[in-house]
Amino acid sequence: MGVGTAALWFVDAPDPVAVLRSGVQSDVDAASALARKLHPGLEPTLVGMAPLTAFAVAAEPDRVLIGCYPGITVVCASEPAAVRPSTLGENWTTLVAAKHTLLVASEREHAWGAFAEWDSGNLKRSFSAGPTYIHEDEGLPFPWERPFWSGEHPLQFDGENYPDPQALPFHPQEFADAASAHWLGVRMIGGARDGDTDPASVLLCDFSMRDPNAAPPPDSRPPVETDRPDESKKKRGLFRRRQ
């Protein structure tokens, strides 16, 4: 499987849907402190504010997206995108002290999707699958899952392809997105539907992590060519950038 990306949500807010729907802004200082906790010895540089739909950016080297809102913290990174979410270490599931820890993960190339919920550190539900193979199915299914298992959200195939006999009755990424919609009122992969919060309105702090003791990268800008006074009337030719 390629590099997946996961969003870990730490929720204490009694109504997280209302918090995200309100358009609340992330606390940059709290997000910076959490980035340092995640990457000891590295210093976060704020690249900008990224919408929740850009959470896959966190798969890039030394990048992490963090949002800190009242009663809600979200961390987007590639490390928690485990094929078996139940194996995720406590360093991730208890990264922020919260009643509920929620995971939504995906990987586009192989259409993989996963979700999981921990209550007070105890795994309650975990699911992970590709279109034709279930990697993990732990805990009792939630009531909101029923329409997926009963075939109300089937995989779509074009006229030239036929479904694999082992294909699931739903797309695993859509399934994971439905978990996010149920828990938080926002979909991270498929975009907003009726009643959902627009994921583009949920902004996260996009950090680039750097070693403060490392030498700064060399200036990659091309040299600026200037005319010498005695050469101002010479005809210019092609030139090569000095290596």
Query: What is the per-residue pLDDT across 78-134, written as a single tens digit (0 to 9) for each?
Result: 889 999 999 999 999 999 999 999 999 998 888 899 999 999 999 999 999 999 999
Chain Cα centroid distance, residue 174: 15
- Does a structural domain hold residue 221? no
Cα 105 to chain centroid distance, Å, stands at 7
Considering the domain boundaries, does residue 238 fall inside one? no
pLDDT digits (tens, 9 = 90+) for 225-239: 444 444 444 443 333
pLDDT (average), residues 201-227: 73
- Tens digit of each residue's pLDDT (9 = 90 or more) over 162-206: 566 678 989 999 999 999 999 999 988 877 787 899 999 999 999
- CB contact set of 59 (below 8 Å; sequence gap of 6+): 3, 4, 5, 78
Helix, strand, coil share (%) of the chain residues, nearest 5: 25, 30, 50
Tell me whether residue 26 is in a domain.
yes
Counting the structural domains of the chain, the total is 1
Residue 54's domain comprises 5-214
Q: What is the pLDDT of residue 108?
A: 83
Residue 5 is predicted with a pLDDT of: 87
Confirm whether 225 is domain-assigned. no
Is the CA virtual torsion 139, 140, 145, 148 positive or negative? positive
Q: How far apart are CA 95 and CA 75, in angstroms?
A: 10
Which pLDDT does position 162 carry in this prediction?
A: 56
Q: Which residue has the tokens 């294909």?
A: 167
Q: Which residues pair with 107 in a beta bridge?
A: 112
Q: Is residue 10 part of a domain?
A: yes
Instruction: Report residue 212's pLDDT band, with 50, 70 and 90 as the boundaries.
Output: confident
